[in-house]
Structure 1
């Protein structure tokens, strides 16, 4: 391993959430928007599982500290944006981590976003109810 840097940066995105992620070798601490992870995602139980998935796949749980700023979207989209950023940062740290992350689909940007509402319709696709008689 040729680690000359001590911080690795990547950007993760999901829906309208954008996460800027820095990872450093450390003890497994995660800080989101200057708050501890559990404090920021206090009402979202699944968030920790989502965010730590890249570390589980590469066998690096508890070996990196994560500092990230995230804005936009809901809590789930933010957690998935952080996961995307961590996966990209891990490949910056060591290229050998790329295959398991790629196989799990964590390096691919999930392009699904909310479809816009069209005029003349009640929603993106739903129209007015039609009565034949």
Structure 2
């Protein structure tokens, strides 16, 4: 049995994804998907690549994810699953690419600048 191992990243979240043919179980950090991602939106985000190539219920997915917040983690998992599906079947690539699921979202938090309160917050300006 073939197990595909991929990595997905988003902001400071890193997801190590293991995908193998199975009956559709998705485990995140040794917990069920619905137990780990309580929001329906995040659950849908994670399942998006599987729905795009219409293979829901055909692969077992195991994920170790760390860092960042819930949304960043969900999107990191999504990228990892999409990359794994491409490794299983190269014909999936155009559909996933069209949906933008294979593109790493490189946006990160802007660093805080010295002498300022936040990254872009300036001190109050008084004209007179």
Decide: shared fold, TM above 0.5: yes
Displacement of 1:77 after TM fit?
0.4
Displacement of 1:122 after TM fit?
1.9
Structure 1 runs of 4+ aligned residues shifted over 2 Å read none
- 1:29 and 2:25 equivalent? yes
Distance in structure 1 (CA, Å) of the matches to 2:54 and 2:35: 25
Displacement of 1:62 after TM fit?
1.1
Any unmatched runs of 5+ in structure 1?
none
Distance in structure 2 (CA, Å) of the matches to 1:7 and 1:119: 47
- Within the candidate set 36, 53, 63, 1:40 is matched to 36
- Between 104-113 and 119-128, report the one with greater CA deviation: 119-128
Residue number in structure 2 paired with 1:107: 102
The alignment of Structure 1 onto Structure 2 pairs a total of residues equal to 128
Distance in structure 2 (CA, Å) of the matches to 1:130 and 1:120: 15
- 1:123 and 2:109 equivalent? no
Alignment of 1:54-93 (within 5 A): 54-93=49-88
Any unmatched runs of 5+ in structure 2?
none
Contact 1:120 1:127 (C-alpha < 8 Å) held by counterparts: no
Displacement of 1:23 after TM fit?
0.7
Distance in structure 2 (CA, Å) of the matches to 1:94 and 1:26: 15
Distance in structure 2 (CA, Å) of the matches to 1:38 and 1:58: 21
Residue number in structure 1 paired with 2:16: 20
Distance in structure 2 (CA, Å) of the matches to 1:59 and 1:96: 12
Root-mean-square deviation over aligned CA pairs: 1.0
